[in-house]
Amino acid sequence: MVLEGIMGTKLPCTGSHEGAGTVVATGSDVKDYKVGDRVMSGILYHACGSCTDCLGPENYSHYCIHQKGYQGITEQGFFAEYARIDAAQAAKLPDSVTFETAAPLACAGRTIWRGVTLAGLKKGEWIAIVGSGGGLGHLGVQFAKALGLNVIGIDARDEGIELTKKGGADVVVDARIGHEKVLEEVHKVTNGEGATATVNVSDNEKAMATSCAITKMHGTVIQIAQVSFSPS
């Protein structure tokens, strides 16, 4: 999108919208952070703080349409020694979390975390993640396991299957076996009912159909995959 000019990026622009580091200076209005704090920061730069997205009960402030810019896209990003960030979009890090671990959580991590938690499942219930070995999916598998859920990981690539296994999925299904067999494998472990919830993070054209098919009646399907398009 940057390359095609869709975002109106003024070049040169340093990339990366996921960052973590140590605070070396603060603005006069910053109250919650001090020099030396370890933080991570995501994509949004200066949300307005007054629109319905910023103030609404769902707290989706990262969708603010009146924002001033996006780190690494319209503002200088994190592939640099220093980066200027918005304190309102930052979060403190415990010393036990490395910067390398934290940085991906600033966008990919919180995206899939939202999907997993929106499912509203209880410990021991089944959640399926379609695209489980991708940039979002492999984090979702780990989050779901940490929440005590039973996880079905579905991917269609060798490296994705391997990453799903490493993430701790209880059941790993290779989507290349075909739609009907995928459904059969899911039903084997869910008493013939299907997953209580499914999160789809794959942009494969058949992924959403698979997500719906493997989910039990009255279950929940959450779609947070990207879509591909050609600029006009």
Domains of the chain, by residue range, sit at 19-103, 110-223
pLDDT tens figures, 15-32? 999 999 999 999 999 999
| 66 Cβ neighbours under 8 A, 6+ residues apart | 47, 48, 51
Fold held by 19-103: Quinone Oxidoreductase; Chain A, domain 1 (3.90.180)
| Range of lowest pLDDT (14-23, 44-53, 55-64) | 55-64
pLDDT exceeds 90 at position 102? yes
pLDDT at residue number 7: 86
pLDDT at residue number 61: 61
pLDDT exceeds 60 at position 193? yes
The CATH code of the domain at 110-223 is 3.40.50.720
pLDDT at residue number 232: 42
Q: Are 96 and 80 in contact (CB under 8 A)?
A: no
pLDDT exceeds 50 at position 37? yes
State the Cα–Cα distance between residues 208 and 23, nearest whole angstrom: 42
pTM of the model: 0.87
3-state helix, strand, coil in the chain (%, to 5): 30, 20, 50
State the Cα–Cα distance between residues 187 and 70, nearest whole angstrom: 43
Sheet holding 126-130, edge to edge: 171-174, 150-155, 126-130, 195-200, 215-223
State the Cα–Cα distance between residues 223 and 201, nearest whole angstrom: 7
Average pLDDT over residues 80-89: 91
Average pLDDT over residues 158-168: 97
Average pLDDT over residues 129-142: 96
pLDDT exceeds 80 at position 60? no
pLDDT at residue number 59: 63
- What value does the mean pLDDT of the chain take? 92
pLDDT band at 89, cuts 50/70/90?
confident
On the question of a common fold for 19-103 and 110-223, the answer reads: no
Phi, psi angle pair for 40, to nearest 5°: -125, 155
Beta strands in 23-85 (DSSP E): 38-41, 44-45, 69-70
DSSP-derived secondary structure letter, 79: S
pLDDT exceeds 80 at position 5? yes
pLDDT at residue number 64: 84
Which residue has better confidence, 128 or 57?
128
